Structure formats: structure tokens, C-alpha cells
Amino acid sequence: MADKLKEQQVFDQLKSKHLGLGNADTTRKEWLDNIAKDTYATLVQHNPMLEYLSIGLNKPQAITKFEMIEKMAGCRVDEDGIKSKIDRN
């Protein structure tokens, strides 16, 4: 039993260091979440891919990059917060 506990501790420790580490208990949501984050990070960091996106979307690369990182962070506008302020304009 103690071994099991130790194993779990080592796993948790490794997981906190290496994001995206999984085992048999990894949930589908967690796995998908990691893949999505990795994908956004890749799109942002590989320059040709960012340019490809930005031309397709017809937005400046800086904005495309910003929006992709927002998606990666799962940013969403606080409905009654800042969004409403901007909308008022």
C-alpha cells in the first residue's frame, strides 16, 4: 500500500513538472484540454503557421497571436464586466 502511495506522489510530482503527463486515470477532458493547449501554443510559436492563420483571418499577426493565447488560457469575457463597458461605446 505504501508503495502505491509513493508511486502516486512521484507521479503527482512529475506531473506538476511536466505538464500533460498522463496515466490510465487521465480523463478524456483533461487529455483533450492538454492537446488543445499544445495546439494553440504550436500555432502561436511557429511563425509560418501564425502567418498562415493571420492571412486567412485577415488580422494582424500580433492580434492573431493574442487571440490564440487567449484561447489557450481559456479566457472568456466576463459577461457583465469589461465587455459591457466596451459595448457601450
Partner 1 sequence: MNSNQPELVLYHLSLKRPSASVKSVIGSFTGHKSKQELIVALHSSLIVYSLDTETGQLHKEREHELFCIVQNIAKFRIPGSIQHCLIITSDSGNITLTRLNEKIEFESLVNHPLTKTGLRRLNPSCYIAVDPKNRSFMLCALEKNKMITVLNRNSEDNTIKISSPLEANISKVVTFYTCALDVGYDNPLTATIECNYDSPTKKYLSYYELDLGLNHVVKKYTEEIPFKSNFLISIPRDAEGPSGLLLCSQGIIQFKFLNKRTHCLPIPKRKNQKELSYIINGECHKMKNSFFFLLQSDLGDIFKVSVTYQEVQDDTYDTKEVSSIEIKYFDSLPVCLDLHIFKSGFLFADTETGDKYLYQFEKLGDDDDGTIWSSENYPDEESVYEDHHIYFDTKELDNLSLVYILDCLNPITDGLLDQEKSQLVLTSGGSSRSSLKLLKHELAINELASSELPGSALNIFTTKVSHKDQYDKYMVISFIDGTLVLSIGESVDEVSDSGLELQVSTIAVQQVGRNSLAQVHSHGIVHLKGLNEPSFEKSLWQPPVGAEILVASMTNSQIALGLSNRELVYFEIDEYDQLIEHKERKEMSGRISALSLGQIPDGRLRSPFLAVGCNDMTIKILSTDPNSCLEVLSLQALSSIPSDLQITNLEQGAGYFVHIGLDSGIYIRTLLNRISGQLSDTRVNYLGPKRVSLSPVKIFGKNLVLAFSDTSYLSYNSGFDAKITPLCDGKFTYGCGFISEECPENGVVGVSAENLTIFTIDQLDTDMNVKDIPLTFTPRRITLVSEDVVVVTESQHYTKNPYLNSVATEESRELYQQIGYEKSSHWSSVIETVDIQSQQVIQAINLDKELAIFGSTKVSFASHPDEVYFIVSCSVEQELLPNINKGTQLRTYKITEEGLQFLHSTETDQLVYSLTEFQGKLLAGVGNLLVLYDLGLKKLLKKSLTQTSFHQITSIDYQGFRIVISDMKQSSMFLSFNAEENRFISLCDDITQRHITCSKMLDYSTVVTGDRFGTISVLRCPEKVNKDHLDYIEAKSKMIGECPFKLKQLASYYVQDVVTSLSRGSLTVGGKQSIIYTGLQGTIGILSPIQTPSDIDFFVSLEDSLRQELLKSKHLLTGRSHLKYRGYYVPAQGVVDGDLIQYFYQLPDSTKQFISTKLDRSTLEIERKISIMRSLVAL
The residues binding partner 1 (CB under 8 A) are: 16, 19, 37-38, 41-42, 44-49, 51-52, 54-63, 66, 69-70, 72-78, 81-83, 85-86, 88-89
Closest distance to partner 1 from the beta carbon of 35 (Å): 11
Closest distance to partner 1 from the beta carbon of 2 (Å): 27
Nearer to partner 1, 3 or 79 (CB): 79
CB contact at 8 A, 65 and 71: no
Closest distance to partner 1 from the beta carbon of 5 (Å): 23
Residue 53: which of 64, 67, 42 has the closest Cα? Answer: 64
CB contact at 8 A, 69 and 40: yes
> Is residue 77 left, alpha or beta, with left meaning phi > 0 and alpha meaning psi from -120 to 50?
beta
